[in-house]
Structure 1
Amino acid sequence: MSTLNLETASRVLTAGQEAAAGIGVAMNIAVVDTAGNLVAFSRMDGAWLGSTDAALKKAKTSALFPMPSSALGELSQPGGPIYGIEVTNGGLITFGGGLPLTAADGTVVGAIGVSGGMVEQDVAVAEAGAKAV
């Protein structure tokens, strides 16, 4: 698999929803292709409306810069080598909850972004979703 199709994106969403339900937190979960374009999205019942945009931007961040959104955050702190990058590309989010999605052959096929809980919860749900690729 070298591209992300709807079937795979749906599997990622389902795994994320199950993980979120397991910790009792309603989440927004976005799955995007390598260009950051939306492939699938889920706003669980009761998920914060403000987290919709955050989930999309976390996914986009990890798609455009294929690394966890938190890793980009470490590099973009004041005085860091890419300070201010979060204002590029129409807005990025540089804290945890965004992860690249990688095929079995190591090819990055897209990304997942999760928002709605504490950052650690968002990361855990994103990890569960990413495993479903």
Structure 2
Amino acid sequence: MKSPIVSTATISLEAAQALLAEARRACAARGFDATVAIVDAGGHLRAFERADSAPFLTVDVAIDKAWTAASFGMATQQWNQYMAEPTVAPLATHPRLMPVGGGIAILHEGRLIGGIGISGGTSVQDHEAAQEALRQAGFLQ
């Protein structure tokens, strides 16, 4: 019998806070204030920040983008394309699924350790800022 225990990896608080700082810089470089959420591999909030001028709706959107990215280990912009498929479209009614660009899974050594979600710019700006933050924090090459 295999072990009944599965070991999971998760982003550390220190790494989440460093990624948050990089995301803030990436958004500022693109000219927008944002809300940034970082979740662990289980989708639980690990680090969070809302810029003073970011609309309050961006709070739930950023958290749900991070959660969605971590749930399947893929970027939220991919979900937008999947929603067009009739076999996947029913997932659109899930209350936390956020199929809008700006959420990216966080991987370390090939293992899912969390997700980042950014909301405040366009979906393209949010996605690009998340990519840049991950790159600067050493999660993307």
TM-score normalised by length of structure 2: 0.86
| Residue pairs, 1:14-25, within 5 angstroms | 14-25=21-32
Displacement of 1:94? 0.4
**Whole-Å Cα distance in 1 between the matches of residues 63 and 17 of structure 2?**
16
Displacement of 1:23? 1.6
Asked if the contact 1:112–1:129 (Cα under 8 Å) also holds between the matched residues in 2, the reply is no
Residue 39 of structure 2, aligned match among 3, 24, 32: 32
Displacement of 1:35? 1.3
**Whole-Å Cα distance in 2 between the matches of residues 121 and 76 of structure 1?**
21
Structure 1 counterpart of 2:89, which letter? Answer: Y
Structure 2 counterpart of 1:96, which letter? Answer: G
Q: Does 1:123 align with 2:127?
A: yes
**Whole-Å Cα distance in 2 between the matches of residues 69 and 42 of structure 1?**
20
**Whole-Å Cα distance in 2 between the matches of residues 34 and 6 of structure 1?**
13
Structure 2 counterpart of 1:64, which letter? Answer: S
Structure 1 counterpart of 2:103, which letter? Answer: G
Structure 1 counterpart of 2:90, which letter? Answer: G
Identity %: 32
State the match for 1:13 in structure 2: 20
CA radius of gyration, larger in: 2
Asked if the contact 1:114–1:126 (Cα under 8 Å) also holds between the matched residues in 2, the reply is yes
**Whole-Å Cα distance in 1 between the matches of residues 23 and 100 of structure 2?**
18
Displacement of 1:125? 1.1
Displacement of 1:48? 1.1
State the match for 1:112 in structure 2: 116
| Residue pairs, 1:88-103, within 5 angstroms | 88=94, 90-103=95-108
**Whole-Å Cα distance in 2 between the matches of residues 125 and 45 of structure 1?**
18
Q: What is the count of residue pairs matched by the alignment?
A: 130
Give the ranges of 4+ consecutive aligned residues of structure 1 lying more than 3 Å apart after TM superposition. Answer: none
Structure 1 counterpart of 2:93, which letter? Answer: V
CA RMSD of superposed structures (Å): 1.5
Asked if the contact 1:10–1:40 (Cα under 8 Å) also holds between the matched residues in 2, the reply is yes
Structure 2 counterpart of 1:95, which letter? Answer: V
What secondary structure sits across from 1:45 in the alignment?
coil
TM-score normalised by length of structure 1: 0.91
In the alignment, structure 2 segments of 5+ residues that lack a partner are 1-8
**Whole-Å Cα distance in 2 between the matches of residues 107 and 129 of structure 1?**
18
